[in-house]
């Protein structure tokens, strides 16, 4: 990775990934792109271009202008929004994916895109979900993610594009808010705890989902992209996770830092159904073995850091 184009760079992952990559590879070598510019660090402190991922010519033009050798494709609609607008989600998630892969093929560039725990479905084994297993998701987001994994494999096999990906769990962070996922409650709960000392969860008690703190997610992306290609058997896409918890467990950890914190429930049937179709916890052995994946943050360490950072921010 020497010159990197990122799509959807002003979202939850991109706004932090852009800055971290600029620290490592140099500001001018990381080109942030998104639908619209905003006043975030990622947009203001380095190269930024407006790129709509549904416009292939525009994406290729920008990639050629900066002579990129790596495409990191982040632009997508997340699970809850995709479920509300399935046709729009298909067009954006699959159209964007094809265009990003075509751009990587045209430029002979390395390619990364995140899949998700959403690629699994209700017939997938729920506990210790294997790397290779049944994948029959029942959400539009999941259908898009499975198709994206297969397309990435196809572009590697057919055209020799160096495609790589991970199945991210819910990502927790304090820089940019999440963009319409099912796991967003695990971010909102920290904001509300710091601001108001209470939170009403749309996910029910006892619902376990995999999660990861953003610093571990960024390291996972960089480590996978820097890994020796010859050692990658799976490529698209590796299970990665740092922790699994239910709402009452994250609330108990927050209460250690914010005594008196109160969690209540007002369950959203749509997002609950999505959560119920996903694994309780996945097995990340392949990522550990093939490229040394490791997470530094567990629930306690993440909670302490999130609350400290949000107290400064808010």
From ligand SER, ligand NAD, none, which one binds at residue 279 (CB under 5 to 8 Å depending on kind)?
Answer: none
Does residue number 237 form part of the binding site for ligand SER (CB under 6 A)? no
Q: Are 164 and 235 in contact (CB under 8 A)?
A: yes
Judged by CB under 6 A, the stretch of 48-56, 274-282, 287-295, 306-314 that binds ligand NAD is 48-56
Does residue number 239 form part of the binding site for ligand SER (CB under 6 A)? no
Cα Rg of the chain (Å, integer):
19
Distance CA 145, CA 143 (A): 5
Residue number, nearest CB to ligand NAD: 11
Does residue number 287 form part of the binding site for ligand NAD (CB under 6 A)? no
The secondary structure of residue 248, as a DSSP letter, is H
What positions carry a catalytic annotation? 141
Looking only at residues 159 through 178 of this chain, which bind ligand NAD when binding is defined by CB under 6 A? Answer: 168, 170-171, 178
**Exposure string for 51-75, b = 16+ CB within 10 A, e = fewer:** bbbbebebbbebbeebebbbbbbbb
The correct pick among 181, 189, 241, 290 for binding ligand SER (CB under 6 A) is 181
Does residue number 247 form part of the binding site for ligand NAD (CB under 6 A)? no
From ligand SER, ligand NAD, none, which one binds at residue 182 (CB under 5 to 8 Å depending on kind)?
Answer: ligand SER
Strand pairing report for 209-213 and 170-172: parallel
User: For the window 160-179, what string marks contact with ligand SER as x by the rule CB under 6 A?
Assistant: ----------x---------
User: For the window 25-44, what string marks contact with ligand NAD as x by the rule CB under 6 A?
Assistant: ---------xx---------
Distance CA 32, CA 6 (A): 5
Does residue number 124 form part of the binding site for ligand SER (CB under 6 A)? no
Nearest to 271 by CA among 199, 180, 191, 206: 180
Q: Are 54 and 95 in contact (CB under 8 A)?
A: yes
Q: How far is the CB of 21 from ligand SER (least distance, A)?
A: 21
Residue number, nearest CB to ligand SER: 181
The correct pick among 29, 124, 163, 183 for binding ligand NAD (CB under 6 A) is 183
Phi and psi at residue 275, to the nearest 5°: -60, -40
Peptide bond into 237 cis (omega under 30): yes
Residue with tokens 């964007």: 96
Sheet hosting strand 4-7, strand order edge to edge? 48-50, 30-34, 4-7, 70-73, 110-116, 163-168, 238-239
Give the ranges where 66-213 is alpha helix by DSSP (H). Answer: 79-84, 86-107, 140-159, 185-196
Helix (H) / strand (E) element for 27: namely: none
User: For the window 14-43, what string marks contact with ligand SER as x by the rule CB under 6 A?
Assistant: ------------------------------
User: For the window 72-91, what string marks contact with ligand SER as x by the rule CB under 6 A?
Assistant: ------xx------------
Does residue number 278 form part of the binding site for ligand NAD (CB under 6 A)? no
Does residue number 118 form part of the binding site for ligand SER (CB under 6 A)? yes
CB nearer to ligand NAD: pick between 183 and 277: 183
**CA–CA distance from 180 to each of 68, 78, 162 (Å)?**
30, 6, 29
Q: How far is the CB of 105 from ligand SER (least distance, A)?
A: 26
Binding footprint of ligand NAD on the chain (CB under 6 A): 7-8, 10-14, 34-35, 51-54, 74-76, 78, 92, 114, 116, 168, 170-171, 178-179, 181, 183
């Amino acid at each position: 990775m020497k010159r990197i184009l990122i799509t959807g760079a002003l979202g939850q992952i991109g706004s932090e990934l852009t800055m971290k990559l600029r620290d490592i590879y140099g500001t001018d070598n990381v080109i942030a792109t998104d639908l619209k510019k905003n006043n975030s660090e990622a947009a203001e402190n380095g190269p930024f271009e407006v790129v709509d991922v549904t416009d292939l010519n525009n994406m290729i033009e920008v990639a050629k202008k900066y002579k990129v050798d790596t495409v990191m494709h982040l632009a997508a609609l997340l699970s809850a929004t995709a479920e509300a607008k399935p046709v729009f989600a298909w067009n954006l998630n699959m159209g964007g994916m094809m265009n990003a892969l075509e751009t990587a093929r045209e430029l002979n560039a390395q390619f990364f895109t995140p899949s998700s725990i959403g690629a699994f479905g209700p017939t997938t084994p729920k506990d210790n979900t294997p790397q290779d297993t049944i994948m029959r998701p029942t959400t539009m987001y999941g259908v898009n993610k499975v198709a994206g994994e297969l397309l990435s494999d196809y572009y590697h096999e057919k055209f020799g594009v160096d495609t790589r990906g991970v199945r991210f769990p819910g990502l927790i962070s304090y820089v940019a808010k999440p963009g319409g996922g099912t796991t967003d409650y695990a971010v909102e709960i920290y904001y509300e705890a710091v601001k108001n000392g209470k939170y009403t969860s749309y996910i029910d008690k006892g619902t376990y989902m995999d999660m990861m703190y953003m610093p571990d997610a960024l390291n996972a992306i960089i480590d996978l992209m820097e890994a020796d290609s010859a050692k990658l058997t799976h490529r698209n896409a590796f299970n990665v996770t740092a922790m699994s918890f239910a709402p009452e467990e994250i609330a108990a950890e927050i209460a250690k830092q914010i005594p008196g914190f109160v969690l209540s429930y007002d369950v959203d049937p749509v997002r609950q159904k999505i959560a119920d179709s996903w694994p309780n916890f996945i097995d990340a052995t392949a990522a550990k073995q093939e490229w040394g994946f490791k997470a530094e943050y567990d629930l306690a360490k993440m909670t302490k850091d999130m609350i400290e950072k949000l107290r400064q921010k808010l």
